[in-house]
Amino acid sequence: MSNVTIDRVRCIETAPAGIRLVIVKVETNQAGLYGLGCATFTQRPKTAVQAVEHYLDPFLRGRNVNEIEDIYWSSQMSSYWRNGPVLNNALSGVDMALWDIKGKRAGMPVCELLGGKCRMSAATYVHASGAEPAEVVDKARGFMEQGYRHIRMQVEVPGQATYGTSSDLQVERSIDGPMSPHNIFEPADYVRLAPRLFEYARRELGDEIELLHDVHERVPPPLAIELAKSLEPYRLFFYEDPLPPEEIGYFDLLRRHSSIPIAMGELFNNPNEFLPLVKDRLIDFIRLHLSQVGGISPAKKIASLCEFFGVRTAWHGPGDTSPIGHAANLALDLCCQNFGIQEFTAFNQATLDVFPGCPRVCDGSLWPNDQPGLGIDIDEELAAEFPFPDHPYNGAWPAIRRRDGSIVRP
Ligand SMILES: [Mg+2]
């Protein structure tokens, strides 16, 4: 194979669904050959762009595109301080793009380079939320009619900023500024209410549909254990992020108290953070955001580690995962024996137009297009028609607070 080298690494910013996406394009010395990756850190998107264009671009120009593993390690070590979300997202953009290039050169989809397909499609779960249990269940019925078999459910605590519902994420300027009642969240109120949603949902929807719930690390450990026990009768597919990364010492206690399947890990930066929870079999699914851990290369290694301990994959796939990131998720879903489920947020028409080749949804599963590389492209002219929207913090989340004004972890 001829010596193909990196000419330039640059970013494309776009927001076709109103969410800030950062795409990395790795251009090569071979005319028309390039790769695309996702570096979307939507709460701090401009920092990822700076890291790509001011550090990785000059560092990687002239490197052989074949050397994915060495580029991953040399890029990590060149900053000395490693494994933060900004640098991991920047590096992920490059890592995914290099796998895309390797696939295009080989004439194969990326999943074939990683061992080959062991399933045809990837089952997904989608989000149903609302102000009342009846509204959540109505939305779930709509998804079931479209063929989805796994649904995450979140219901609003009346008058509070409840994660995963439309009451969340109101803008707030400071602790001394005007506090909106919608910025308030009381963990105990939420822990009392959430089981009533699932009691109602099981009664209305029956036993066959798989139901999921995300705590989003918002409650103290004793309440997370209490909620796990309260939700057990409703047979959840998984109970997500019951505890924040700072409290992983409590997972052993949670495991002893409840048989509920646990998903964890979307906030982890360093691949080594998974090790204690996986080796002691304290979780059942890894929630991992591919660009947050540095791309396809580290994610595949973590998935292989998990395979030995009976832990399954559940790659993070909300609206702030770009379609390039979804294509990378799907490449791994198809070739990892221990695939569990894929989170998915439907693409709007503008997104489908900006990213030709988006994975297709059919009967609640994602299907690949089997094109070489990641099988997806970007229309840069059209992408430029969707600049980042105005926002007081440029995409960052406002604070959620207890009634006394103190911060709640997101
Ligand atoms: Mg989550």
291-340 confidence digits (pLDDT tens): 999 999 999 999 999 999 999 999 999 999 999 999 999 999 999 999 99
Confidence of residue 164 (pLDDT cuts 50, 70, 90): confident
Indicate whether 48 pLDDT > 50: yes
Distance 31 CA to ligand 1 centre (A): 41
CA of 343 to the centre of ligand 1 (A): 10
CA of 104 to the centre of ligand 1 (A): 33
Q: Please name the fold of domain 113-374.
A: TIM Barrel (3.20.20)
CA of 300 to the centre of ligand 1 (A): 20
pLDDT in tens, 273-297: 999 999 999 999 999 999 999 999 9
Distance 381 CA to ligand 1 centre (A): 33
Ligand 1 centroid to residue 367 C-alpha, Å: 23
Mean pLDDT on 176-201 = 85
Residues in CB range of 324: below 8 A, 6 or more apart: 23, 36, 37, 38, 96, 355, 374, 376, 378
Quick one: average pLDDT of 7-26?
A: 98
Calculate how far, in angstroms, residue 78's C-alpha sits from the geometric centre of ligand 1.
Answer: 31
Quick check: is 55 catalytic?
A: no
Q: Give the pLDDT band of residue 235 (cuts 50, 70, 90).
A: very high
Q: CA-based angle 121:122:127, to the nearest 5?
A: 140
- 269 CA to middle of ligand 1, Å? 15
Span 15-29, average pLDDT: 97
CA 241 to centroid of ligand 1, rounded, Å: 6
**pLDDT digit string (tens) for 336-372?**
999 999 999 999 999 999 999 999 999 999 999 999 9
How far away, in angstroms, is 15 Cα from ligand 1 center? 21
Predicted pLDDT at 362: 96
Q: Which residue among the candidates 72, 163, 200, 250 is catalytic per the annotation?
A: 163
d(CA 410, ligand 1 centre) in Å? 10
Per-residue model confidence (pLDDT) at position 301: 97
pLDDT > 70: percent of the chain: 96
Return the ∠ at Cα 212 (arms to 206 and 334), rounded to 5°.
110
Task: Give the pTM.
Answer: 0.96
Type of residue found at 27: E
Considering only CA atoms, which of 98, 40, 39, 37 is closest in space to residue 70?
A: 98
Q: What is the mean pLDDT of residues 381-394?
A: 93
Q: Could you tell me the distance, in angstroms and rounded to a whole number, from the CA of residue 221 to the centre of ligand 1?
A: 17
Cβ atoms of residues 410 and 217 within 8 Å? yes
Report pLDDT digits (tens) over 89-110.
999 999 999 999 999 999 999 9
Residues 369-381, mean pLDDT to the nearest whole number: 98
| Strand ordering across the sheet containing 34-38 | 6-14, 21-28, 34-38
Q: What mean pLDDT, rounded, does the chain reach? A: 94
pLDDT at 173 over 60: no
pLDDT at 397: 84
Q: Look up 216 and say whether it is catalytic.
A: yes
pLDDT given for residue 395 in this prediction: 85
Determine which one of 127, 182, 213, 216 is catalytic.
216
pLDDT at residue 391, as a whole number: 85
Residue range 393-405, pLDDT digits in tens: 888 888 888 988 8
pLDDT in tens, 242-254: 999 999 999 999 9
Radius of gyration of the chain (CA): 21
The pLDDT tens digits for 117-156 are 999 999 999 999 999 999 999 999 999 999 999 999 999 9
Distance of CA 348 to the CA centre of its chain: 18
Find the range with the poorest average confidence among 264-273, 369-378, 398-407: 398-407
